[in-house]
A and B are shown apart, each in its own frame.
Chain A
Amino acid sequence: MSFDFNLILQSLPEMLAGLGITVQLLLVSGFLGLLLAILLLLMRISGNLYLNSIAQVYIYVFRGTPILVQIFIIYYGLPQFEAIRESMFWHILREPTGCAILALTLNTGAYVSEILRGGVLSVDKGLLEAGSALGMSARQKFIYITTPLAARLSLPAYSNDVISLLKSTALASTITITDMTGIARTIVADTYAPYEVFISLAIVYIIFTFGLQKLFGVIERYLGRYTKREE
């Protein structure tokens, strides 16, 4: 048993060729997931019992089941139905990338909406009372007071969720997508050198995570530029 450094130099560029797909999965499902999360949040705080229950059940189901099961239900499961194969969505659901993005979006949306709700609930009541005193309508209060404060308050938790989303994109390799992990698994199957390949890929992911953390740190400082600094 030996550690083959040449193999790392050889396989690293091959794996980095999959970086584009990893980033694509992260950005597209991250963005769509955020939109879904905002929709679910609005349903939960709408005050409408039905909308609230639908959102609650959705969040419960998607947070209570493994993401891998969700990916498999969408990729392998949905084509079981004739109606899906003949529908307009089939050209998305036929592609593994479309399925992976759909699964990651649905999953991250459930988590992020709970994070956003936490942010909304922790907005200082006094500020909302001040808004009422100024004669603001409920909608105005939500747009001008709740939204900016909740965004800032939920940012630290949100950054953690983006990092778990990044880690979840690696599961796309289970449905034949050649993201970084998918390529690494092919290389390991050929060379049978799991240490060299998987450890160097792990370092790539760790650097990526570190970069995301730094980026969110910058955004947090920017959004918090008017708040008192805690020394």
Chain B
Amino acid sequence: MEVLNGWWDDYFWGAIIIAEVFVASLFLMILFGLMGAGAKLSENRLAQRVASAYTVIFRGTPEILVILLLYYGSAITLTAIAQIFNPEIRFVDVPPFWAGTIAIALIVGSYATETFRGAFLGVNPGSIEAARALGMSPLQTFIYIRVPEMWRIALPPFGNHMLSLTKDTALISIIGLNETMFVAKQAITVTGKPFTMYIVVGVIYLGFSSIITLSVMGIEKFGNRTTVGAR
């Protein structure tokens, strides 16, 4: 274990990066998922088509390919744009953090689209009718009836999406994000102990997964506290 001395703080900062990617991509993932679900549920044919294309593309392409494409592609595009304004610029550097975060948010967002759509359609029609009978406006129905029922339906799959986001963070190390995989690689060149160093990475990810799983279980229990015959 003494080979790890001197690397703990690097691993700690790597873990902080994982948490940062998680928070940023979670926010974007929810945004993409809601937009996708909204488009799929809308009456607009074009919006439906675009949303279907979005889910088919991002669910059928390997994650690593999306990350590489976004990273190298955006670098080229931004360089070309920058050269219009200033021909002196040779190359625009895209931060791997954002390229990777957006990439994994797009991927997991395509799964979240289906989750949110399913949750919207899974609301008991009787509840909606009851709301209408009580004279609630569509907005009131949405806030007081739909949302409380929807998030309970969406929570278990949503927990899995959060786990995917966390685990996909490891892939961003391929384009040079200095998270724990990256730390391990550096540590290995110095210490020559690849197994030990990558096991530490695994333990860190397992810790993150456990925190998410336990939180989701807790929230689920809270959400179902008043439902009859709770799961």
Interface of B is mostly: helix
Contacts of B192 on A, CB cut-off 8 Å? 80
Assuming A170-B65, A181-B64, A205-B62, is B206 touching A64 (CB within 8 A)? yes
Within 8 A of B (CB), among A148-175: 163, 166-171, 173-174
Nearest CB of A to B206, in Å: 5
Contacts of B169 on A, CB cut-off 8 Å? 66
Q: Is B61 an interface residue (CB 8 A)?
A: yes
Complexed CA–CA distance, A72 and B32 (Å): 31
Closest to A197 in B: B69
Closest to B174 in A: A174
Is B174 in contact with A210, judged by CB distance below 8 angstroms? no
Q: Please count how many residues in chain A sit with their CB below 8 Å of the partner chain's CB atoms.
A: 43
- Across the interface, B205 reaches (CB within 8 A) one of A66, A171, A209, namely A66
Nearest CB of B to A73, in Å: 5
Nearest CB of A to B79, in Å: 8
Assuming A1-B77, A64-B205, A73-B195, is B62 touching A194 (CB within 8 A)? no
Q: Is B124 an interface residue (CB 8 A)?
A: no
Complexed CA–CA distance, A65 and B77 (Å): 34
Within 8 A of B (CB), among A113-165: 163
Q: Is A185 an interface residue (CB 8 A)?
A: yes
Assuming A167-B63, A171-B64, A202-B57, is B73 touching A80 (CB within 8 A)? no
Is B195 in contact with A81, judged by CB distance below 8 angstroms? yes
Assuming A69-B170, A195-B73, is B195 touching A181 (CB within 8 A)? no
Interface centre among A76, A79, A194 (most CB of B within 10 A): A194
Contacts of A65 on B, CB cut-off 8 Å? 167, 202, 205-206, 209
Q: Is B23 an interface residue (CB 8 A)?
A: no
Assuming A194-B68, A202-B65, is B60 touching A209 (CB within 8 A)? yes
Complexed CA–CA distance, A102 and B69 (Å): 28
Contacts of B205 on A, CB cut-off 8 Å? 64-66, 69
Nearest CB of B to A14, in Å: 16
Complexed CA–CA distance, A188 and B59 (Å): 23
Within 8 A of A (CB), among B170-203: 170-171, 173-174, 181, 184, 188, 192-199, 201-202
Nearest CB of A to B195, in Å: 3
Nearest CB of A to B56, in Å: 7
List 16 extra interface pairs beyond A68-B173, A76-B198, A202-B57, CB under 8 A. Answer: A1-B77, A63-B163, A65-B209, A68-B181, A69-B198, A69-B201, A70-B202, A77-B198, A77-B199, A80-B192, A81-B195, A163-B59, A170-B62, A194-B69, A195-B69, A209-B60
Residues of chain B at the chain A interface (Cβ within 8 Å): 56-57, 59-66, 68-69, 72-73, 76-77, 80, 163, 167-171, 173-174, 181, 184, 188, 192-199, 201-202, 205-206, 209-210, 213
Q: What are 28 residue pairs bridging A and B, where the CB atoms are less than 8 Å apart in the complex?
A: A63-B209, A65-B206, A66-B169, A68-B170, A68-B181, A69-B170, A69-B181, A69-B198, A69-B202, A72-B194, A76-B188, A76-B194, A77-B198, A80-B195, A167-B63, A170-B64, A173-B64, A181-B62, A181-B64, A181-B65, A188-B68, A188-B72, A192-B76, A194-B73, A205-B65, A209-B59, A209-B60, A210-B60
